[in-house]
Amino acid sequence: MKPASIPAAARWSLQGRVLHWVMAALLVGLVALGLTMTRLHADLGTTFALYQAHKSYGLVALVLVAWRIVWRLRTSPPPPQAMRRAEWLMSRLVHVLFYGAMAALPLTGWLMASASPLRLPTRPFGLFTMPDLVAPDAGLFMVLRSIHMALAYGLVALLVLHVAGALKHRLIDRDDTLGRMGF
Ligand code: HEM
Ligand code: HEM
């Protein structure tokens, strides 16, 4: 069934769908930018600009995930599709872990930028300076960097499972799961 022909009550609210797709694009872009900027070995000016962009859009993700958590706690999901219990549990687990990763990634990023011994200010889009959450500390920076990196790889692993699930519903079960998040 095309998303447009799915009754509104069977879909996530417009707010939920917009948040889902805006954040999906933002998160994939941030992972790509993070991996690129740390491996590019470009000149200092370019590297600085890429890091600033990563930190700025990363903080947008922090605002959006806070908004999305509030929305999610106040919303009732559309009635579930018929599926096996194990499958339902698996999808719930992936969603909960997604929320954990979506919140922890920008928080560890902000903590890491604060702990950096380089002491570079975090200025989202050059507008204002973010307060540092901890004092500069090279050891702490390295720990947070490893956690931030592991979370990013975890997010990608969850995305692979999530997309595989969506495709299974579409191609094998041929049900409306994809349409629940569609426009
Ligand atoms: C959901 C949001 C975010 C995602 C998905 C994300 C993802 C990533 C990824 C994939 C890397 C590369 C890791 C590696 O392989 O070395 C990275 C590095 C980095 N991120 Fe983020 N990030 C996010 C938010 C933030 C925020 C909010 C900040 C700071 C305010 C930040 C600061 C950094 C810094 C400073 C590095 C470079 C660390 C180094 O020098 O090795 N990130 N991020
Ligand atoms: C990093 C990217 C993504 C994240 C973090 C993400 C996260 C989520 C979360 C947490 C939910 C549960 C609804 C909620 O509580 O907000 C959800 C639902 C959904 N997602 Fe994603 N998603 C991503 C990308 C995708 C992609 C690429 C697809 C399509 C191939 C997709 C298809 C869906 C569908 C169809 C649902 C509805 C499932 C249902 O109602 O049972 N998502 N997603």
Q: 168 lies in which domain range?
A: 8-181
Q: Looking at the domain assignment, is residue 36 inside a domain?
A: yes
What CATH number corresponds to the domain at position 176?
Answer: 1.20.950
Q: How far is CA 117 from the centre of its chain?
A: 27
Give residue for tokens 């095309």: 2
Q: Judge whether residue 1 has pLDDT over 70.
A: no
- 84-134: pLDDT as tens digits: 999 999 999 999 999 999 999 999 999 999 999 998 999 999 999 999 999
Q: Looking at the domain assignment, is residue 2 inside a domain?
A: no
68 pocket-lining for ligand 1 (C-beta < 6 Å): no
Q: Looking at the domain assignment, is residue 32 inside a domain?
A: yes
Q: Looking at the domain assignment, is residue 1 inside a domain?
A: no
CA distance 154 to 97: 9
Q: What is the pTM of this model?
A: 0.96
Which of 109, 22, 2 lies closest to 65 in space, CA to CA?
22
What does the pLDDT read at residue 25?
98
- Split into its structural domains, the chain has a count of 1
Mean per-residue pLDDT, 30-37? 98
17 pocket-lining for ligand 2 (C-beta < 6 Å): no
